[in-house]
Amino acid sequence: MPNWQIKTSGNRAGKKKTSFSILTFLIYCILLSQNPKKVSAEGVYNVPTGSWATGTLLTGISVALPGTVVDPAPVVFRIEDGFYTPQDGYVDMTGCYAHGTAYWADHISRVVIEIKHISCPQGDRIYEKEILGYIYDAQGNFGFDADITPIEKEVWGIKIRTGIASVPAFVQGVLFLRQGFTIMKKEKRGPGWRRPLTFPENLKDFPP
């Protein structure tokens, strides 16, 4: 009688162990099937808020005075170095383009450039991302000093003084991110998505 009881207890323990192994295997299969196309961490890069990148303003800016955000001027800014992150990290995005708008800010008497999108050529595709950032001048000041052209006109017998604030093209600047983003590179090394400028020959070697 005791021998029979010991044998029965051993069979029950073996069945429990087998059931546990099967359950573990099923859970693993379920989790694997729910994420069959997991992206490698090496191909996805996080560019957090507070990151910055240097580059060149490709478009000249002419905005009316007094300024208004309702009618801003379009801006294209080429990133000539990668983003440096607050954690002392670096994300190579050389050759990408930042797009935004510029307007005159009366309270600081400078032209403010707000960046809203970024685009990066990746082979035969273009990676586009919505971001939020501002461009500072090469000295780290918010916005850009502008050349003011005063304009005086008369409307219904009333003289109105206005003007145009201009910033030349091909000036250096720094893009600071107010809202971070993630980017997925086609290749780990990244330079495959760079491409030469399509400007005329006399404008490729800027600034002069």
Q: Where are the domains of the chain?
A: 1-38, 41-190
- Mind listing the pLDDT tens digit for each residue in 18-47? 665 666 655 555 544 444 343 334 477 889
Reported as type and span, the H/E element at residue 17 is: helix 2-34
Give the 3-state secondary structure percentages of the chain, helix then strand then coil, rounded to 5: 20, 45, 35
Closest CA to 161 of 171, 172, 150: 150
CA distance 56 to 51: 17
Closest CA to 110 of 41, 177, 63: 63
- Mind listing the pLDDT tens digit for each residue in 100-132? 999 988 888 899 999 999 998 877 778 888 999
Contact criterion met (CB below 8 Å) for 124 and 92: no
Residue with tokens 């006109």: 153
Domain 41-190 = CATH 3.40.50.620:
no
